[in-house]
Structure 1
């Protein structure tokens, strides 16, 4: 089960620095959730507690009904796959194929036919089939990110955590990421993403969680979050272009996406013509 529950969790480093303070969050299986906030807001530490890379100093983290304190990081990582912001932190094989096969072959010890099937599906979804024999470190950073994603997909966890996947991506990369995330949700997977890309968050995710000063200050739909000027100001997040433009033009609608803005402008233009 891909449910995640953080119950009043805090994390303090040994030097006394508190990175996360009294955070509670529930993510249901199959949700797409984006976590937004400035550097230092506590986003990365929060999600790393979800796969046991960080153990809370206070509170409880539940993954699929399991209390993470009762399991090793390796055990939880089989259920919660993590894609690092920098793919070079997790890539270490000589070919893309070997990288993607590692999880099901070595960690999960699956039979060869299942390893091949999983690897093939992951490579196809990530758009890497034609690059399977390439050395990952010969590929651009933007493509190496997809290699890391494919490697996690091949292990087939219930929950996926993507840390800043859009950094360094062009438009085609963003389209590919959107496709991957929606495909995973279609398989019943939970996808949680840290991102600074507001447009990506609006267009790809069902729910937005905003963090500031080590706490969650609000969560809701993209429409609810990006029309809350007080929350955006507190988290130092920019108001989306479509929202700003719609207000300046007094369109009188809760517009959040560029597509909604274009539709509203077309309706206004049609009204003027009549």
Structure 2
């Protein structure tokens, strides 16, 4: 039985860059991983895809660069039908940073890793050098270019993987569980990188369980459950829908739950960050002072 999904309120936009039309995927063992998905992703968006393990979110995103092909339906990426294109061509449009950087890091130096994707796309030497240089500057990798990536810690290896994708400069960058295994400093760095990708004109797709990251971004949020899309809206709207959250087995950021129990702030909005709660408390204090002084 198909459930009615929460629909993102549409605004005037250009044509979608990724268009997913009635897409289903059934694995060879008969498992139906996604069912009748319709979705449009636009240039410059940051889109989070949430869901419990087995909900279909990773299967869905692996269709974006041809790692998987639809069993039913059609996906267009940059005007190309993914069923008809090779992974090598689609990967120049959609870069995929895996959860485990070891799955895409295999060369003996960071410098070689950064250049690999460009070489694979047969860029000329001058363009390749320019792109690698830009990636080095953005990720501040000057001091480790001659290091073996496997001598770096996991956070550094993940940054090398992101930088190697950035060097190719695909329109879409997919980050699969980017904060897994990261400490607070590492999570803050991921948040900054997502914002940097967006500032440089990339569309960013996040597969994540990290509600704090999504809260900080308050980006478009898609929720998957049992192979279906059940929600598509801004994070504050999705997190405020207790029915959707309970159905998908998700918990909002801790600060959201904490804020809902505070009598000192308004409860007609959803608070996603500590800063938003502090700002509201500060505003209420100023209002109380104004009322108390009769101004």
* Short-chain TM bin: over 0.9
For 2:38 and 2:140, the matched residues in 1 are separated by: 36
Q: Which residue of 1 aligns with 2:98?
A: 84
CA shift, 1:52, in A, is 0.6
Q: TM-score, normalised by structure 2?
A: 0.88
Q: Which residue of 1 aligns with 2:53?
A: 39
For 2:259 and 2:193, the matched residues in 1 are separated by: 30
Q: TM-score, normalised by structure 1?
A: 0.94
Whether 1:128 aligns to 2:141 is yes
Q: Which residue of 2 aligns with 1:52?
A: 66
CA distance change for structure 1 residues 244 and 193 in 2, over 3 Å: closer, same or farther?
same
Q: Say which of 253, 273, 287 aligns to 1:257.
A: 273
CA shift, 1:9, in A, is 0.7
For 1:236 and 1:125, the matched residues in 2 are separated by: 37
CA distance change for structure 1 residues 127 and 195 in 2, over 3 Å: closer, same or farther?
farther
Q: Which residue of 2 aligns with 1:202?
A: 215
For 1:177 and 1:123, the matched residues in 2 are separated by: 16
Per-residue CA deviations over 1:114-141 (Å, capped at 9, x if unaligned) read 2222112112222322211111001111
Contact 2:218 2:272 (C-alpha < 8 Å) held by counterparts:
no
For 1:213 and 1:165, the matched residues in 2 are separated by: 23
For 1:216 and 1:248, the matched residues in 2 are separated by: 30
- Root-mean-square deviation (CA), in Å? 1.6
Whether 1:212 aligns to 2:225 is yes
For the residue of structure 1 that corresponds to 2:49, the secondary structure is strand
Tell me which moved more, 173-182 or 90-99: 173-182
For the residue of structure 2 that corresponds to 1:157, the secondary structure is coil
Contact 1:34 1:205 (C-alpha < 8 Å) held by counterparts:
no
Rg comparison, structure with higher value = 2
Contact 2:16 2:40 (C-alpha < 8 Å) held by counterparts:
no
CA shift, 1:272, in A, is 4.5
Contact 1:2 1:190 (C-alpha < 8 Å) held by counterparts:
no
Q: Say which of 140, 164, 189 aligns to 1:176.
A: 189
CA shift, 1:110, in A, is 2.0
Q: How many residues align?
A: 273
Whether 1:101 aligns to 2:131 is no
Q: Which residue of 2 aligns with 1:7?
A: 21
For the residue of structure 1 that corresponds to 2:62, the secondary structure is helix
Q: Which residue of 1 aligns with 2:151?
A: 138
For 2:23 and 2:72, the matched residues in 1 are separated by: 5
Contact 1:199 1:240 (C-alpha < 8 Å) held by counterparts:
yes
For 1:176 and 1:246, the matched residues in 2 are separated by: 25
Q: Which residue of 2 aligns with 1:225?
A: 238
For 2:128 and 2:279, the matched residues in 1 are separated by: 46
For 1:233 and 1:204, the matched residues in 2 are separated by: 22
Q: Which residue of 2 aligns with 1:25?
A: 39
Where does the alignment leave 5 or more consecutive residues of structure 2 unmatched? 1-14
| Runs of 4+ off more than 4 Å | none
CA distance change for structure 1 residues 2 and 149 in 2, over 3 Å: closer, same or farther?
farther
